[in-house]
Amino acid sequence: MPNAYDLSGRSAIVTGGAKGIGRAIAELLAASGARVRVWDAAPASIPGVACDVVDVTRPDQITAAVERLGAGARVDVLVNNAGWLGALGPFEHHAVAEWQRVLAVNLAGTMQVTQAVLPRMIEGGGGRIVNMGSLAGKEGLGRLAAYSAASGGVIAFTKALAREVVGAGVLVNCIAPGPIDTDMIRGLGPETVDAMIAASPLKRLGAPAEVAQLVAWLCSDAGRFHSGAVFDFSGGRAGY
């Protein structure tokens, strides 16, 4: 039976919410009573959710999206989910423009959106920020060096910001998923996906809806004592 969370009256922004994990998060937050707005570089249509085309690598688009919220509009929840895996292969052959994009979306994008939204959250008396990292950011994955580096940066950013803003009532946490059943993971090819499943103690990929449950829990009253934490979501695959 699905868990239930009460987020009535709260306003949430989910980046990268057009599909995959982000869409599952947006749908669950909306079903839990939150007013949800998705920011994604691709157009999206999600029942009960407002969707804006926003590229998180473009500060001008982020600023414009914040202004469209209206003067004094609260933001109670921010989920930084937008991500880019990049190419799978040896770093020596990883095109500079490609790995720079990985850093721009995953790390710089998270920081830019947070910096733009955080003043609204502080003015409103507090809120919750959930940054989506990756198990790669804790353990490093060969042939995904740039993605691992960007994810590690998200983890460190989470811990640093959490210390900085907890006094303002803003709780900042990170979720570090292992392989989740999304187009991004499936795009790595059947051989790689099969190897990921074989390496999982649960012998399967995680589901986007399962990640969404952890996000909703962190954003609910049940998560009121958590800040600066990194939650593994790997089906037992995490090494530490």
Q: At what angle do helices 96-103 and 145-165 cross, to 10 degrees?
A: 20
Q: 51, 112 in Cβ contact below 8 A?
A: no
Which tokens is 143 given?
Answer: 């042939």
Rounded to whole angstroms, the Cα distance separating 55 from 219 reads: 24
DSSP 92: G
State the residue for tokens 């811990």. 159
Catalytic-role residue among 147, 157, 231, 233: 147
Q: 174, 231 in Cβ contact below 8 A?
A: yes
Q: How many Cα atoms sit within 13 Å of 15 on the Cβ side? A: 32
Which tokens is 52 given?
Answer: 């804006």
Catalytic residue check, 5: no
- The residues carrying an active-site annotation are 147
